[in-house]
Chain A
Amino acid sequence: MDTTNTPIYATIDGNEACARVAYLLNEVCAIYPITPSSTMAELADQWAVEGKPNLWGEIPLVAEMQSEGGAAGAVHGALQGGALTTTFTASQGLMLMLPNMYKIAGELTPTVFHVAARSLAAQGLSIFGDHADVMAARTTGFGLLGATSVQEAQDLALIAQAATLEARLPFLHFFDGFRTSHEINKIQLIDDTVLRAMIDDDTVRAHRARALNPDHPFIRGTAQNPDVYFQARETVNPYYARTPEIVQQAMDRFAQLTGRHYRLFDYHGTPDAERVIIIMGSGAATVRQTVDYLNQQGEKLGVVTVHLYRPFAAERLLEALPETVRGIAVLDRCKEPGASGEPLYLDVGTAFLEGSNRNNLPTLVGGRYGLSSKEFTPAMVKAVFDNLNSERPRNHFTVGINDDVSQTSLVVDSSFDIEPSTVVRALFYGLGADGTVGANKNSIKIIGDDPAFHAQGYFVYDSKKSGSQTVSHLRFGPEPIDAPYLISSASFVGIHQFAFLKKTDLLAAAAPGATVLLNSPYPADQVWAKLPRPVQQTLIDKALQLHVINASRVARDVGLGQRTNTVLQTCFFALSGVMPRDKAIAHIKHAIEKSYARKGADVVAKNFRAVDQTLDNLSLVSIPASVTSDQERQPPVPASAPDFVRRVTAAMLAGRGDELPVSALPVDGSYPSGTTQYEKRDIAAFVPVWESGLCIQCGNCSFVCPHGVISAKFYDRQQLSQAPGGFPSAPLNARGFPDTRYTLQVSVPDCTGCGLCVEACPAVSPSRSGVKAINMTPREQIGHYANHHQQFFDQLPLNDRARVDFASVRGTQFLEPLFRYSGACAGCGETPYLKLLSQLFGDRMLVANATGCSSIYGGNLPTTPWGTNTEGRGPAWSNSLFEDNAEFGFGFRLSADQHLSLARRLLGELASEVGEELANSILNAPQSSETMIRSQREQVAALKVKLLALDTPMAQDLLSVVDHLIRRSVWIVGGDGWAYDIGYAGLDHVLASGRDVNILVMDTEVYSNTGGQMSKSTPLGAVAKFAAGGKSIAKKDLALQAIAYGNVYVARIAMGANPQQTLLAFREAEAYTGPSLILAYSHCIAHGINMQQGLKQQDLAVGSGHWPLLRYNPVLRQAGDNPFKLDSLRPRMPLRDYTHGELRYRMLERTNPDVAQTLGRLAQESVDLKWSVYEEMATRDGSAFQPATRTDNH
């Protein structure tokens, strides 16, 4: 019986659906951001800031901790204090919570952890969804309750909370990361009356009564001995035994209140099913629909959706299965290598072994599917059922991949499609920056708000932070939509970027006769001739209806500038048939009024005009009977690329990574370096062009280029005799080189068009206003000559590193970058530092990279910007975790030191055989300059020749470690989230180790990669997620903390303020044989700035005293000098002159001007105080600092 009032619907994603309930039913949330669960925590924080009360009228306390380990500790503590407490997490975050989860469960403490289930990092990290994390937590003693949809993510959040309070078992409520957490769907909201009815306040009071309380004290958390630990562990059995019944009762109560009935094991299908799939998570919905479809065709199939996985109620499972079942496939969304099967499969098997009294046990097989959000489609479900039908069903199979190594995979008929024709299925291809996703989210809301419609949206993004491609999958229809898989047969395809057609097959998923909308610069009567051959062919073969509009022109004409979203959204409504055109247009206009009313009547009017003019400018293209184009799609990589890149990387780049067989992939997660060079993404609308006559060859542009696209070479004039026409060149600006020429080359297809180079250029034309030595020019004005110039430049010899002045910014432009063409944001403030590192030390460098932005643009497949030089040497890069990066890099050092020691000993022992002179020369070689390093390389090369000739075990041993005789440069890099928060303890320990490691913190003062959450580096007064009211605590001064050790080299740098100091600090840090810490100001998109002004903001940060430049060199202390050097001048402007240019500060001025004023004043006081401390330190005698304990330099 449904006792609720009129149902309230909302179109929201799974994270919001779950968080809403969790927030209302808790008093404390202790969290730490991690994809894909971050949104839940952010929403909780936002609601708390807005003063939204929970069910009992209190505003929950939301605390962001320094790690998930910290969050779990705080949750444990809050629970012991008696508060209803929750947290939200995923993946590695859940791993960090495991120790506390055992404690919480062991103490029978009610709580619900809400998890957006995600893969665990193994051979590679993945942010996407599977059950690896949840399954790793199944031994903690938590109850595990799994939701399959956005609706269930809400409903089971409540059922879990009700059950935990009654059962006293803590619960882990989970749903599939991204597929459910990020899917937008129309759901029926639970109202407060249902919440009240579900939660028994007596259980809440009982929870409080069990809390630690000095008024009636006891101790909990004892250390136990062999005499009682075992028995005490068994005390909880009755609680686990009764929990399934408690959960089912909660589900039954919920059904009475809402009409939505869940069971521990939900059976769906024909009562006389012969074949059944048992599954958890969103895949269950796919199976359910496929079962319905196939049963209508006469099959006898069923599916069991596992909701309660722990405690595992085996009897209930067996009861749920029809007696007629003769074949069962258990699907696990995880992999347990080396096990006799995945967890759910083993549990089901045990259930049959222990509990079934059937005479003929059904065939039982297990399989893996959907790891890391791998698609799980009806076609795959059918393949699983087909497997059960075979004479000898394959066990331990995989479905959804081609496993040509272990032959585990089932064959899938990808043409199998079950989607009903009543559902409008729309695909949209856009750029991250073009508003496509935002407009589609808006469309979903518009349609979802209409009582006659249901709507679903899911969005796929690529792994680049600049020029990223987005694909929106939208479904609309009269019935609820529970289709947790991508659209493969679209009735509408919107192509919002014409250029995509040249690279990717965007019509592959178009259903025959589908409507295609193309945003085209060419009108309907000209566009056909501009389409590549395969596109023309598909349009004809599938009889597609092609409509074009020049959305950019319409938007421009009505005064909307480059904002095409209203235009393209109108096209969709007009063409898709989701609702009558007039009604659709009325809906759009209503939405426009709602969105833009506060921006002024004329903004509304402009958007209305855009809607009206869209309809006038939308044209149907007449499709000829035959193909006329001979233009093929551009290959994703050039034919000259290495084999692996052509076979594997290219497939990923072309969006065909799903087709790669297991055999194509490395077994241990090792991938080739330097692969971004083959992408040639060509994403910039404007690119820099060099003015050779104006250039003073200072190297600033090359120095600051975040994507490493600007290179310089000097070369003999005679080389120009082979140069292509117009190849720009200038005399080298240096005395004594009359026959030497200089060229600055811009790799146009790799440029993101950020314009930092132009901002950094100091050379201004004396006769042409606004013209510098490097200027942004429209991409389309760059002719094909650019390719020829690039090719000629590439074949010019690299400059001899021994002839380059490493000590000057000017000199660095001649050093080959071994980090370039990354997918970082256009104008990124971090990457110039990494590029510089790679130029200076790249050929002998080990990089330990903390998880975060830098590990994503550095190591997210398909490609990596970390490259090699012509000798094949380059940075050796790896990412371990987020929290352990300092320790990880420290391990590099330990290994290098140990193997250096081994190599030196072996060389000493082999000296007589390889030659005493060579051995001694190698053992005693100084390696403090590039020339010395080159010399040592030559000696080691000679040694290798001799060792190979010796061919003795000892010689082979030495050969295995001989490369260590070249001094290795260990760099530990990451962002402030790692260094200030989650990895701080490790960083501190490594700093205190005295070992020769170099730590580079690219400080954006916020968690950038996960979307702008506050870190302890976030400045006072800045707004960030979890500091929506402005951060009220000053930024941690990591420099002073490190200086306190005395033997740590410390520098605070800002490339935009003083590039020379940056260079100096890098070189000093690397030369110092102890630990070094460099804090590098990194402007960031999360600051809310014009990224082209990033360098200027850096300069203002320094000029205002927010970011004083400094170096602390223990070597100076050892020499009796003051080791503390203040490299920037006394603040020359108030802090506000810097902060006013950044949204992160200005936001508070708008949301809470009084607080903004107060915090602004405190921030200024803080800056003044900091400066006075530094100034005093800069004038101290050296003896006033801790003595330095290391003196040996290279």
Chain B
Amino acid sequence: MTMDLSTRYLGLDLAHPVVASASPLSRSLDGMKQLEDGGVSAIVMYSLFEEHIRHDNALFDHFLSQGANSFPEALDYFPTPEGSTEVGPDLYLDQVRLASQALDIPVIASLNGISDHGWIDYARLLEQAGAAGLELNIYYIPADLSLGGREVEERYLSIAALVKEAVTIPVAMKLNPYFSAPGDIAQRLDTIGIDGLVLFNRFYQPDLDIDRLKVAPTLNLSSPLEIRLPLRWLAILHKRINASLAASTGVESADEVVKYLLAGADAVMTTSALLRHGPSHAHALVGGLVEWLDEHGFEGVNQARGTLSQQAVSDPDAFERANYLQVLESYRYP
């Protein structure tokens, strides 16, 4: 019997649930081809950052005019560039365009804006370039202590609404796990018509260099232990909202793929494992999934999905209460 691995995410038909999430692997067309060859069913491209583009342009302008009109022999220091040197999202758009044509799997663009115009304009351009879908990567740390939780939520909702209004391709929102009520925000996004939710955005967290007394930016790849948080919320949200659900964070082996699937994920995204083991690791993940499904008598992904979601399990409270007493009691000191 042939195992049916197909799944539907953001309304897109995928051959199986293993999707490459935004990462440096998709920074070039070659990298994307390697990911496809490696066996992923879709690619979420690295994020297009409006702020980065603006900052880069501002810096470019600054250096181009640095020292200009100050000294009579050198009123400037560079040749006048032919046309504009403003870098827009052109390189990114070109890659979307080329990848959409060159790859057989869907290409989902990822966008991080900082202004309403940025979100709307870039989303439209990405759609025109041929992106199959759009993932909104709201990388936002509410460091302003006067900012209330509700205001942050409104910002997420407003961006989702703006982009949904602007494009017709499916739009996913990559959520962060720090909302007071993630279920509520998920539901409100669902009401707006968001097509998918990705759980969760894993913000880079700076470390401290205690020798040099400096804040040290770090990037640690995720580990399987980190799947618990998304796992819980996938299980809670499964079948409670219309939007499709993608799991992200901590996928190392097929075990994590299976767990996410059982919790209710329509797609399972991975970056760290592909960076660690190479793009072809996707084949291993899919192979492991097939093996597990086969061993456990499932005919396909759709049958297994949500088997251990909150609505499906015999003890729904397990996802709501922390069962901390039980957990604490089970812990044995070394």
**Cα–Cα, bound, A438→B69 (Å):** 7
Chain A residues numbered 414-448 whose CB sits less than 8 Å from any CB in chain B: 431-433, 435-438, 441
Q: Which residues of A contact B63 (CB under 8 A)?
A: 1088-1090, 1143
| Complex CA–CA separation, A441 to B76 (angstroms) | 14
Q: Which of B74, B85, B115, B118 is packed against the most chain A CB atoms within 10 Å?
A: B74
B67 within 8 A of A: yes
B297 within 8 A of A: no
B-contact 0/1 string along A21-63, CB 8 Å cutoff: 0000000000000011011001001100110000000000000
Q: Is A784 an interface residue (CB 8 A)?
A: no
Q: Is A465's CB within 8 Å of the partner chain B?
A: yes
| A461 contacts across to B, CB distance below 8 A | 70-72
For A464, the closest partner residue in chain B by CB is B71
- Of B71, B78, B118, which one neighbours A1023 at CB under 8 angstroms? B78
Per-position binary interface string of chain B over residues 210-248, scored 1 when its CB falls under 8 Å from any chain A CB and 0 otherwise: 001110000000000000000000000000000000000
Does A1008 count as interface, using CB distance less than 8 angstroms? Answer: yes
Contact partner, A600, options B66, B72, B118, B212, Cβ 8 Å: B118
Q: Which residues 71-110 in B have Cβ within 8 Å of A in the complex? A: 71-88, 91
B73 and A1009 contacting across the interface, CB-CB below 8 Å: yes
| B115 / chain A contacts, CB cutoff of 8 Å | 600-602
Q: Is B82's CB under 8 angstroms from A49's CB?
A: yes
Q: Is the CB–CB distance between A1143 and B64 below 8 Å?
A: yes
CB within 8 Å of A: which B189-229 residues: 212-214
Minimum CB–CB distance for A683 against chain B, Å: 12
Query: Which residues on the B side are within 8 Å of A674 (C-beta)?
Result: none
Are A1147 and B78 within 8 A (Cβ)?
A: yes
| B79 x A127 contact (CB < 8 A) | no
Interface positions, chain A 1076-1135, Cβ under 8 Å from B, are 1085-1086, 1088-1090
- Assuming the contacts A45-B79, A1011-B77, asked whether A432 and B66 have C-beta atoms less than 8 A apart, the reply is no
Given A42-B79, A1143-B63, verify A432-B69 contact (CB < 8 Å).
yes
A1146 within 8 A of B: yes
Q: How far is the CB of A103 from chain B (nearest CB, A)?
A: 30
With a cutoff of 8 Å between Cβ atoms, the chain A residues found around residue B65 in the complex are 438
Q: How far is the CA of A398 from the CA of B79 in the complex (A)?
A: 41
Q: Does A173 contact B (CB under 8 A)?
A: no
The stretch among A211-219, A308-316, A514-522, A767-775 that forms the contact with chain B is: A767-775
CB distance from B133 to the nearest CB of A (A): 25
Could you tell me if A437 and B69 are in contact, using CB atoms closer than 8 angstroms?
yes
**How many A residues have CB within 8 A of the partner chain?**
63
Complex Cα distance A1012/B73, Å? 10
Contacting pair A1150 B82 (CB below 8 A):
no
Contact A1025–B78 (Cβ < 8 Å): yes
Measured between beta carbons, the chain A residues less than 8 angstroms from B71 are 432, 461, 464-465, 468
B60 in the interface (beta carbon within 8 A): yes
Asked whether A127 and B73 contact (CB < 8 A) given A46-B79, A599-B86, the answer is yes
Question: What's the nearest-Cβ distance from chain A to residue B116, in Å?
Answer: 9
Q: How far is the CA of A1076 from the CA of B56 in the complex (A)?
A: 43
Interface positions, chain A 95-131, Cβ under 8 Å from B, are 127
Q: Which residues of A (177-221) have their CB < 8 Å from a CB of B?
A: 178, 182
Q: Is B57 an interface residue (CB 8 A)?
A: yes
Q: How far is the CA of A436 from the CA of B70 in the complex (A)?
A: 10
Task: Report which of A465, A769, A1026 forms a contact with B70, defined as CB distance below 8 A.
Answer: A465
The complex places the Cα of A66 from the Cα of B68 at a distance, in Å, of 25
Q: How far is the CB of B65 from chain A (nearest CB, A)?
A: 7
| Bound-complex Cα distance A982 to B86 (A) | 36
The answer to whether B155 has its CB under 8 Å from any CB of chain A is no
How distant is the Cα of A89 from the Cα of B261 in the complex, in angstroms? 75
Kindly state whether residue A454 has any CB partner on chain B within 8 Å: no
CA–CA, A441 and B86, complex, Å: 22
B276 is an interface residue with CB less than 8 A from chain A: no
CB of B76, distance to nearest CB on chain A (Å): 6
A578-614 near B? 1/0 per residue, CB < 8 Å: 0000000000000000000011111000000000000
Measured in the bound complex, the distance between the Cα atoms of B271 and A440 in whole Å is 52
Shortest distance between the CB of B59 and any CB in chain A (Å): 9
How far is the CB of A847 from the nearest CB of chain B, in Å? 21
Q: Majority SS of interface residues in chain B?
A: loop
**Does B321 interact with chain A (Cβ within 8 Å)?**
no
Minimum CB distance partner of B209 in chain A = A769
A470 and B54 contact, Cβ closer than 8 Å, known pairs A1011-B75, A1151-B85: no
Per the bound structure, the CA–CA distance linking A375 and B79 in Å amounts to 31
Q: Could you tell me which residues of chain A, from 999 to 1041, have a CB within 8 Å of some CB in chain B?
A: 1008-1012, 1023-1028
B296 within 8 A of A: no
B117 at the interface (CB under 8 A from A): yes
Contact partner of A470 (CB less than 8 A), chosen from B69, B73, B117, is B69
Task: Give complex CA distance A431, B70 in Å.
Answer: 7
Tell me, in angstroms, the Cα distance from A431 to B67 when the chains sit together: 11
A766 at the interface (CB under 8 A from B): yes
**Cβ contact within 8 Å between B79 and A1024:** yes
Judge whether A769 and B214 touch: CB under 8 Å: yes
Inter-chain CA distance A46–B83, complex, in Å, is 11
- Which A residues are CB-close (under 8 A) to B77? 1008, 1011-1012, 1085-1086, 1088
Tell me if B80 and A178 are in contact (CB < 8 A).
no
| Chain A residues in 8 Å Cβ range of B74 | 1008-1012, 1086
Instruction: Give chain A residues whose Cβ lies under 8 Å from the Cβ of B213.
Output: 764-770
| Chain A neighbourhood of B73, CB < 8 A | 35-36, 38, 127, 856, 1009-1011
Given contacts A599-B57, A1012-B74, contact A1147 B68 (CB under 8 A): no
Decide if A1144 is an interface residue (CB 8 Å cutoff).
Answer: yes
Complex-state Cα separation, A1011 to B63, whole angstroms: 14
Kindly provide the distance from the CB of A1152 to the nearest chain B CB, expressed in whole angstroms.
Answer: 9
Within 8 Å of chain B (Cβ to Cβ): is A459? yes
Which of the listed residues B79, B87, B117 has the most CB atoms from chain A within 10 Å of its own CB? Answer: B79
Q: How far is the CB of A1056 from chain B (nearest CB, A)?
A: 18
- Report the bound CA distance from A724 to B69 in whole Å: 43
- Enumerate chain B residues within 8 angstroms of A279, measured Cβ to Cβ: none
Say whether A825 faces chain B, with CB atoms less than 8 Å apart. Answer: yes
Residues of A within 8 A of B88 (CB): 598
Chain B residues positioned under 8 Å from A437 (CB to CB): 69-70
Give the CA-CA distance A22 to B247 in the complex, in Å: 66
Q: Contact check, A438 vs B68: say whether CB atoms are below 8 A apart.
A: yes
Residues of A within 8 A of B85 (CB): 1147, 1150-1151
Complex contacts, A1026 vs chain B, CB 8 Å:
79
Partner of B86, one of A38, A598, A1028, A1085: A598
B82 and A50 contact, CB distance less than 8 A: yes
Interchain CB contact (< 8 A) of A178 among B72, B81, B214: B72
Residues from chain B with a CB closer than 8 A to the CB of A431 are 70
Task: Check if B81 sits within 8 Å of A1147, measured CB to CB.
Answer: yes
Q: What is the CA–CA distance of A1010 and B69 in the complex, to the nearest angstrom?
A: 12
In the bound assembly, the distance between CA atoms of A1146 and B24 in angstroms comes to 21
Q: Which of B50-64 contact A (CB under 8 A)?
A: 54, 57, 60, 63-64
In the complex, 27 of the A-B residue pairs with CB atoms within 8 angstroms, ordered by the A residue number, are: A35-B73, A36-B73, A46-B79, A431-B70, A432-B67, A432-B71, A438-B65, A438-B68, A461-B71, A470-B70, A598-B88, A599-B86, A600-B115, A601-B117, A769-B213, A770-B214, A1008-B74, A1009-B73, A1009-B74, A1012-B76, A1085-B66, A1085-B77, A1088-B66, A1144-B78, A1146-B60, A1147-B85, A1151-B81
- 8 residue pairs, one from A and one from B, having the closest CB atoms: A432-B70, A1011-B74, A437-B69, A1088-B63, A1028-B79, A1012-B77, A1143-B63, A1086-B77
Interface residues of B (CB under 8 A from A): 54, 57, 60, 63-88, 91, 115, 117-118, 212-214
Chain A residues within 8 Å of B, Cβ to Cβ: 35-36, 38-39, 42, 45-46, 49-50, 127, 178, 182, 431-433, 435-438, 441, 459, 461, 464-465, 468, 470, 598-602, 764-770, 825, 856, 1008-1012, 1023-1028, 1085-1086, 1088-1090, 1143-1144, 1146-1147, 1150-1151, 1153
Given contacts A1008-B77, A1088-B77, 15 further A-B contacts (CB under 8 A): A39-B75, A45-B79, A46-B79, A49-B82, A432-B67, A437-B70, A438-B68, A468-B70, A600-B54, A602-B115, A1012-B77, A1012-B79, A1023-B78, A1146-B60, A1147-B78
